[in-house]
Chains A and B, each alone.
Chain A
Amino acid sequence: QKEVEQNSGPLSVPEGAIASLNCTYSDRGSQSFFWYRQYSGKSPELIMSIYSNGDKEDGRFTAQLNKASQYVSLLIRDSQPSDSATYLCAVNQPPGGYNKLIFGAGTRLAVHP
């Protein structure tokens, strides 16, 4: 069974610190990886995508991918209270999956002033 695993949290960090969110996946054939942010009561919002090993930076966000270890992470620098949300990791289901994504259950991040 294909799985995407995340620590449910909550991950509590002080304002201004770096928040590190982690995700592991089971299918080595996966090629596309995404991070979504979901505020309480709202729908998920795509914030980062990564397709190659290494780091990808976008503003305060950095996604890291290590396909050999089947591991993807999201770093949030200078964390703000407005970053408090649940972060969902999503991985594409390999060929034949009609662009289907498998979602982790999410990590709840709490940034306190």
Chain B
Amino acid sequence: SQTIHQWPATLVQPVGSPLSLECTVEGTSNPNLYWYRQAAGRGLQLLFYSVGIGQISSEVPQNLSASRPQDRQFILSSKKLLLSDSGFYLCAWSPGTGVTYEQYFGPGTRLTVT
């Protein structure tokens, strides 16, 4: 069965500090990978998605970036955090083949920028 991991689970960082969040998927190959952000009491905002190694698409302009150095690894980064970057960051995967579109989420990272 497939498993998706995210770490760290929680993070408190000062404004202007760098960020690196990691997501890994087990039990599947060539998944599509996604990064979402959920602000308090809000819906899910898609930040980045990837259909393969080194292939990253950005959904919204911001000071975040993403990378996919390996097939089942997805990293979210920032050089300098802003207060508005606080939120619940979720990584998700979906099958890379077939015609279904279901996505499965990791446990998330709660980021507080102070």
Q: Which residue numbers of A lie inside 8 Å of B, CB to CB?
A: 32, 34, 36, 41-46, 49, 51, 88, 90, 92, 98-101, 103-106
A105 and B43 form a contact (CB under 8 A): yes
What per-residue 1/0 map shows which CB atoms of B85-103 lie under 8 Å from chain A? 0000010001000001111
Query: How many residue pairs at the A-B interface have CB separations less than 8 Å?
Result: 50
The contact of B101 among A42, A44, A92, A105, by CB within 8 Å, is A92
Taking the closest CB of chain B, its distance from the CB of A61, in whole angstroms, is 15
Query: Which of A46, A49, A101 has the most chain B CB atoms inside 10 A of its CB?
Result: A101
Could you tell me the dominant secondary structure of chain A's interface residues?
loop
Chain B interface (Cβ within 8 Å of chain A)?
A: 32, 34, 42-44, 46, 49, 51, 57, 90, 94, 100-108, 110
Q: Which 7 A-B pairs have the closest CB atoms?
A: A105-B43, A92-B101, A43-B105, A103-B44, A32-B101, A43-B108, A99-B101
